[in-house]
Amino acid sequence: MTDQVRQDAIERAWQDLVATARRTAAEGLVVGTSGNVSVRVGSLVLVTPSGVPYDRLTREDAVAVDLDGNQVLGDLAPTSELPLHLELYRNTSAGAVVHTHAVHATAVSTLVPELPLIHYMAGAMGGPVRVAEYALYGTEELARNMLRALHERTACLLQNHGTVAYADSLDQAYDRTAQLEWMCRLWLTAASVPGHAPTLLTSSQLSEASEKLRSYGQPDTP
């Protein structure tokens, strides 16, 4: 990869990252400067900077680190949750990561150790979504707790904190984040009806749906 091709790839990735970060705010998944987004470009990880409103980010604000966390691009400090992002890139096939403080998902993280199987879209995340044990934000301990909760999963809840989802692309990581928030809202709504308990899926029903989800969407073109 030539220097110009690499620079073009970084610029495109930064534009997509900023657009995704702004989308999390516009659609109510974060408030203010909470939450963060990252995307991998080769051996670099582009991340949102710490404490900067997403609507103020420009192409000159791009921030990138290597997989050891050394900053190699930009003057702004990277997100305080950098350990969380790097833990995923070092240990999974993640191409992009979205972390939010979505209200319904965060509420669920305070109530149960695992989101009950309220909907088959849990299959799109690898199975029942777990809650990572609480640890102080921005710490290696939180990153380790998250990684355990993500074993064979692509999304999890962080206790009393929020959500994490990863995927090959920013669009897919965002979609998983939004789906997780929707499932949490669904379960909270159903569970709040007095005198009733929501019907949950069985593990076999989820497995059946998960298998069908693998072929969901348009077929790949040759």
Q: Which residues are catalytic?
A: 81
Name 63's Cβ contacts closer than 8 Å, sequence gap at least 6.
46, 47, 48, 49, 71, 73, 74, 76, 77, 78
Q: How far is CA 99 from CA 20, 39, 77, 198, 217, in A?
A: 11, 12, 17, 28, 25
Q: Which tokens in the block code for residue 65?
A: 């680190």
Strand, helix or coil at 66?
strand
**Rounded CA Rg of the chain:** 18
Q: Amino acid identity of 107?
A: A
Cα(first)–Cα(last) distance of the chain, in Å?
Answer: 26
